[in-house]
Each structure stands twice: as structure tokens, then as C-alpha cells.
């Protein structure tokens, strides 16, 4: 009964992960609660994963990555790469993927993608290359780079922690580097010679044309007797008629709508709306239409006000909320003009659209406000804007702390958890990143997912569910040989990464793989590392957070990922299965 219960919960968890009706952390906590309430696990067993050194390592890496972003060191490294490319599309792709892979070997791949995405979009426009030709390779490279070191991805850290609890030696920080480098080289070569031809080529257009802003702007003069006089510009009455204010013209000055800017008699309001609705303004007392004009980027960017593309990042607090509920304009000081909602340019009632990860917002506001968005973990600014200046000495300090942590942990001078924790603490103490920002950069959902799924793995081992599934795999494929069993488990992991996160898929298959290895009498470590790598060579669907991050900016479709990634997945699967026994012998 316990085995049936655990397997039923596994199927339910996979279905919930696939439907995305609930966030991964909520699903994980519900799963833990069910295991405790049914008596499968004790509370101590269920929550043991939250106290592991794996959580400390991942949290510290998130903080260090945030410090590198805050100090501008990522922008500096990126600018060097782009200068070396010399404007060549092919050279740019190779250098970009190489740089992203190198960074991702030591940082979370989603963080690397988010940090490089604005710079890549900007350089693509300068080089007159479609961003769709570079952004998917960027996401792929960040995933590939995670196969090079223990800390390259949370999947590696989670697998290492589990096999250590199973009685095997934990992974060394550079143990998988040789095979990881081979994977990266093959992946970059594939995208250079094959994948680049399969990528879509979405030509860049004017931002206003691209986002389908309504055809007409309208200038409205506020009369002295208007009921709008004295009211904050963010609370104006025209919102009831589905018009939006873009800017306020007062004498020779311009103002972006904000809570501290109140409407005065004689103000000219530049509003935007459909031509058929312009007549509604005449029914509003105290307003008069001045003129009508077609919008263009130059008009929207006059003065110190800028137009910018903003991406809703993974784990953003804005996801699942509308602009109105989030108080977007009051919070950020910029106006959302249009939304690109997963392939559809929305033109009406954007304040009521529920935002999703990957949505693009076209915003307008003061340059200082737009620049401030670059430091917000919930958003990523896309466009050709100069990056914030590097903090110089603090950036160098952060790099030095990170290098010292890698050296101390890699050579075994300090436990990995302590070396990275000290590096993160040093970055905070020397104010390379504030403590508030440090907490914001930590991906708490991912930490809960890994800690909780570790408990589920314990449940599979404790009840015998893992042994049963492992036995079925051996019975089904054992007659074809050990490599057939390994290939079957490898394929299962790739299949599960489609509805689940990579780390969760690896942790689900891992106990099954170890049980199968014991039954076959072969090296358990070989099977464990194969499953770990399988979770990082799946590029069939865009469900990995790094891929979701570039989905909107690249204007990709689901089929673009399938067409480009299925060949890469098959090639890397064959390569890994051939190389694994050479690096980690089966017997």
C-alpha cells in the first residue's frame, strides 16, 4: 500500500508540474505534507533536506551571482566578448555561447541568461542581426555550461547530495568537467553549423510598430473647470473609457504620469486610444481635443523620457498578477503602453491582463526610472541602452571572493558549503550587494523544490518503490544488456524534464537508477552521473526557465524549440551514453 501511495503521489506531482496550475514550491510542500500525514515519512525525514549543505551552497551561489550583476561585472565581461566578435553573426554566436557556457559553469543558468539577455538583444540590433538568431543559443549555452562543474546547475548539487546520503562519495567540484567541456564544444558546434539554420529570423522593426500600439495618439487640453484638476495623473478619469495617458505637456515642460504629478488647468495630455473611441472624449466635461497624430518612437522618447522593452523574469512577483493589482505605474514610475503576451500583441485593457513569465512590456518613463528597472530581479530591460556603470573595485572584490571560494572548495581546503557561504558573506559585508538585494536574488522556489523532492526520494527508497521500479526496468531491458538499461533510464529522465524541472526529474529517476545498478551489479556512480547529465541535455521543449526567459524577446514559437533542439538532444544523448563508461567504468 505504501508503494502504491508513493507512486500515485509521483504521478500526481508530475501532472501538477505539467499543468502549471500551481507553483512548483506549493506542489512540493503539498507533497511533503501528504507523505507525513500518511505516515510514510516522519517530520524529521520530510524536512531533513532543508537543513542540508546543498541548500547553503545554492543560496550562496545565488547571492554571489547577484553581486556580480549589481557591480556590473557581467556587463563588462559581455562587452569584451561582443568587441571580439567584430560584427560577424557566426563569430558572435560562437563567442556568445562560449562566454555564456563559461559563466554558467559557476553560476545558475537562469541567472546567466537573465544577465546577458539585454546586452545580447542590444548588440543584435547594432549588428543588424535578428535577436531570434542569438537568444535561443544563449539559453542553450547557459544550460550546457551547467554540465561542466558541480555548481554549474542546481541539478548537479542535488544529485551529489543524494548520492552522498546513499553511501557514495559526493561529486568533486571539477569531476565532471572533462565530459562537460566535450558537451559544450559539441553543442556550440551544432548551433554554429546546423542549429543556426533552423532558427527563425524575425526581423526587428520599430518598437511601436512591433508592439501594435493603436494607430492614433490624441492631445487633450484640460479646461479650468475640469473635475480632473488637482488629481494625481495616475488616477485620472479617462481610464474608464480605456484611454491611457502617455505624457503631460505643461508650458515647455513634459512629465511622465506619476502619483506626485497632479493635473493642472491648461495641461495638454497626450493620450492613446482607438480611433473609434476618440469621440468618447467629447462626452467628458472639461476636456477638449487639441490634435491627433500618428505615434512614432521619436515622439514617445522626447526629452529625458525613454521607451524600453521590459521582460517579466522567472520567479517574478508580477507573474499571475495584473498591472492594476501590482500597482505597476506607482511602483516603478513608468507607464506600460503595450504588452506582448506570449506571441500576441495585446492592444486593449492591458491593465487587466494577467502577466506571465516571458511576457514583454513596452514601457515609457524617465530615463532614470528605466535604468532603475535594470536592477529589479522581477524584470529584465531589453533594448539599446547604456548599461549601468561598473562599481569598479567592488566588482573586482566580488570576482576575487568567488575565485577564492572555487579554489578553497575545489582543493578541499574548506567544505564547499562553507567556502561559498564565506564568499557570499564577504560580498555583503563589503557592500558589493545589500542584504535586502541578496535575499531578493535567492530563488526560494528552487530551494524548496530541491529540499522537498529530496524528501520524496527518501520516501521512494524507504517504501521500496524505487527498488520495484528499478526491477521493472531491469526485467524489461536487462536482456538487451547493461547499456540498454542505462539508455532506458536516460530517455526516461529526458522525458520527465518536459513537464518537470531538471532537478526534480533527476531526483525522481535517481533512486530507480541506483536500484537498477545494484541489481545488475554495476557501478552505481556511473548510473547516477548519467541521470544527472540526462537532465541537462534535453532541449526539446521550452520549459526550462532559461528557455522561457528568451521565449518572448526572441518571438519564438513552441515548434521553433522542437525543430532546433531535438537534433541537439539526440546527438548529445548518444555522445554522453558513449562517453560515460569511459570516464566512470561500469565495473
* Rounded-to-integer distance, Cα 65 and Cα 513, Å: 33
List the beta bridge partners of residue 380: 311
> What is the per-residue pLDDT for 450?
75
Phi, psi of 39 (to 5 degrees): 80, 5
Q: Give the integer Cα–Cα distance in Å for 343 and 551.
A: 9
Please state, in angstroms and rounded to a whole number, the distance separating the CA atoms of residues 22 and 498.
Answer: 16
Distances (CA, A) of 230 to 10, 224, 243: 59, 10, 19
Cβ neighbours for 544, distance < 8 A, ≥ 6 positions apart: 109, 139, 143, 497, 501, 502, 538
d(CA 181, CA 144): 9
**b/e 222-240 (16+ beta carbons within 10 angstroms → b):** beeebebbeeebbebbbee
Helix (H, G, I), strand (E, B) or coil at 78: helix
Domain 214-294 shares a fold with domain 306-382: yes
Residue 262 per-residue DSSP state: B
Nearest to 201 by CA among 150, 136, 142: 136
CA 434 to chain centre: 22
The secondary element (H helix, E strand) that includes residue 373 is: helix 367-373
Residue 322, helix vs strand vs coil: strand
Left, alpha or beta for 425 (phi > 0: left; psi -120 to 50: alpha)? alpha
Smallest CA-to-CA distance from 572 within 543, 538, 549, 548 is with 538
Write the DSSP symbol of residue 507: H
Using the structure block, give the residue that is written with the C-alpha cell 560580498.
427
CA distance 96 to 116: 9
Q: What is the pLDDT along the chain (587 residues), one digit of tens a residue?
A: 888 888 788 778 777 776 767 777 888 888 889 989 988 888 988 888 788 777 888 788 888 877 877 777 766 666 666 666 665 677 788 888 998 899 888 877 777 776 677 667 767 766 678 888 888 999 899 999 999 998 888 889 888 888 888 888 888 889 999 999 999 999 999 999 999 899 988 765 555 655 555 555 667 888 888 878 887 766 555 655 567 777 788 877 888 777 778 888 888 887 776 655 555 665 666 777 665 555 666 566 655 677 778 888 877 888 888 888 888 888 888 888 777 766 565 555 667 778 888 788 878 788 788 878 878 888 877 764 444 444 568 888 888 888 898 788 877 788 878 988 999 999 999 888 888 888 887 878 778 877 887 787 778 778 877 777 777 877 788 788 899 999 999 998 888 787 567 877 888 888 888 988 988 899 999 999 999 999 999 898 776 777 766 776 778 887 888 899 999 999 999 999 999 999 999 88
* pLDDT confidence of residue 303: 58
CB 194 within 8 Å of CB 567: yes
Residues in Cβ contact with 486 at an 8 Å cutoff, skipping those fewer than 6 apart? 526, 527, 530, 577, 580
Closest CA to 16 of 531, 340, 452, 458: 452
Superfamily of domain 214-294: Regulator of K+ conductance, C-terminal domain (3.30.70.1450)
Strands (E), 202-323: 216-222, 244-250, 253-255, 268-273, 287-293, 305-312
- Per-residue pLDDT, 79: 63
Nearest Cα residue to 27 out of 449, 544, 442: 449
> Residue 461 and residue 320: Cα distance in Å, rounded?
36
Are 416 and 173 contacting, i.e. CB atoms less than 8 angstroms apart? yes
Whole-angstrom Cα distance, residue 256 to residue 364? 8
Q: What pLDDT, on the 0 to 100 scale, is given for residue 189?
A: 96
CATH 3.30.70.1450 at 306-382, yes or no: yes
| Rounded Cα distance, 288 and 66, in Å | 50
Question: What is the C-alpha separation between 451 and 376, in angstroms, rounded?
Answer: 27
- What gap in Å lies between CA 32 and CA 26, rounded to an integer? 10
Nearest by Cα to 416 from 30, 157, 108, 93: 157
Helices 53-70 and 444-463, axial angle in degrees (round to 10)? 160
Q: What are the domain boundaries of the chain?
A: 214-294, 306-382
Amino acid at each position: 500500500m505504501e508503494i502504491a501511495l508513493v507512486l500515485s503521489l509521483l504521478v500526481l506531482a508530475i501532472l501538477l508540474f505539467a499543468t502549471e496550475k500551481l507553483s512548483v514550491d506549493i506542489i512540493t510542500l503539498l507533497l511533503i505534507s501528504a507523505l507525513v500525514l500518511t505516515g510514510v515519512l516522519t517530520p524529521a525525514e520530510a524536512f531533513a533536506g532543508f537543513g542540508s549543505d546543498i541548500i547553503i551552497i545554492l543560496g550562496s551561489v545565488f547571492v554571489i551571482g547577484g553581486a556580480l550583476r549589481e557591480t556590473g561585472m557581467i556587463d563588462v565581461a559581455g562587452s569584451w566578448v561582443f568587441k571580439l566578435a567584430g560584427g560577424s553573426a557566426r563569430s558572435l554566436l560562437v563567442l556568445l555561447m562560449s562566454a555564456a557556457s563559461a559563466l554558467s559553469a559557476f553560476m545558475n543558468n537562469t541567472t546567466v541568461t537573465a544577465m546577458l539577455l539585454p546586452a545580447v538583444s542590444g548588440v543584435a540590433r547594432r549588428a543588424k542581426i535578428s535577436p531570434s538568431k542569438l537568444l535561443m543559443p544563449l539559453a542553450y549555452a547557459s544550460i550546457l555550461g551547467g554540465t561542466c562543474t558541480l555548481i554549474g546547475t542546481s541539478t548537479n548539487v542535488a544529485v551529489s547530495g543524494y548520492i552522498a546520503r546513499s553511501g557514495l562519495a559526493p561529486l568533486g567540484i571539477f569531476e565532471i568537467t572533462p565530459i562537460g567541456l566535450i558537451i559544450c564544444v559539441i553543442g556550440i558546434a551544432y548551433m554554429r553549423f546546423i542549429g543556426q539554420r533552423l532558427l527563425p529570423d524575425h526581423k526587428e522593426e520599430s518598437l511601436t510598430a512591433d508592439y501594435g500600439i493603436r494607430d492614433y495618439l490624441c492631445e487633450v487640453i484640460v479646461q479650468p473647470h475640469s473635475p480632473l484638476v488637482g488629481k494625481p495623473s495616475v488616477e485620472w478619469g479617462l481610464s474608464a473609457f480605456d484611454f491611457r495617458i502617455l505624457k503631460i505637456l505643461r508650458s515647455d515642460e513634459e512629465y511622465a504620469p506619476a502619483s506626485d504629478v497632479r493635473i493642472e488647468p491648461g495641461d495638454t495630455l497626450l493620450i492613446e486610444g482607438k480611433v473609434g473611441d476618440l469621440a468618447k472624449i467629447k462626452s467628458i466635461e472639461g476636456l477638449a481635443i487639441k490634435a491627433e497624430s500618428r505615434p512614432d518612437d521619436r515622439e514617445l522618447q522626447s526629452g529625458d523620457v525613454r521607451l524600453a522593452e521590459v521582460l517579466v523574469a522567472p520567479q517574478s512577483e508580477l507573474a499571475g498578477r495584473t498591472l492594476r493589482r501590482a500597482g505597476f505605474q506607482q511602483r516603478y514610475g513608468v507607464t506600460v503602453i503595450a504588452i506582448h503576451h506570449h506571441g500576441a500583441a495585446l492592444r486593449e485593457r492591458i491593465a487587466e491582463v494577467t502577466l506571465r513569465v516571458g511576457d514583454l512590456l513596452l514601457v515609457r518613463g524617465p530615463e532614470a526610472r528605466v535604468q532603475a528597472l535594470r536592477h529589479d530581479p522581477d524584470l529584465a530591460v531589453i533594448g539599446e541602452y547604456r548599461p549601468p556603470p561598473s562599481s569598479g573595485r567592488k566588482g573586482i572584490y566580488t570576482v576575487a571572493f568567488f575565485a577564492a571560494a572555487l579554489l578553497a572548495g575545489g582543493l578541499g581546503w574548506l567544505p564547499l558549503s562553507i567556502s561559498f557561504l564565506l564568499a557570499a558573506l564577504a560580498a555583503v559585508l563589503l557592500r558589493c550587494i545589500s542584504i535586502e538585494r541578496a535575499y531578493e536574488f535567492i530563488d526560494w522556489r528552487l530551494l524548496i523544490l530541491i529540499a522537498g523532492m529530496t524528501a520524496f526520494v527518501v520516501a521512494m527508497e524507504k517504501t521500496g518503490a524505487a527498488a520495484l521500479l528499478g526491477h521493472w526496468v531491469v526485467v524489461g531491458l536487462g536482456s538487451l544488456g547493461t547499456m540498454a538499461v542505462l539508455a532506458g533510464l536516460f530517455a526516461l529522465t529526458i522525458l520527465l524534464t518536459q513537464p518537470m524541472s531538471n532537478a526534480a526529474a533527476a531526483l525522481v529517476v535517481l533512486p530507480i537508477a541506483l536500484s537498477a545498478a545494484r541489481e545488475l551489479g554495476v557501478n552505481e556512480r556511473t548510473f547516477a552521473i548519467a541521470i544527472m547529465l540526462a537532465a541537462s541535455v534535453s532541449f526539446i521543449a521550452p520549459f526550462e526557465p532559461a528557455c522561457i526567459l528568451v521565449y518572448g524577446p526572441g518571438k519564438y514559437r513552441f515548434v521553433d524549440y522542437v525543430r532546433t533542439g531535438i537534433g541537439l538532444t539526440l546527438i548529445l544523448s548518444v555522445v554522453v551514453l558513449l562517453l560515460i563508461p569511459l570516464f566512470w567504468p561500469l565495473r
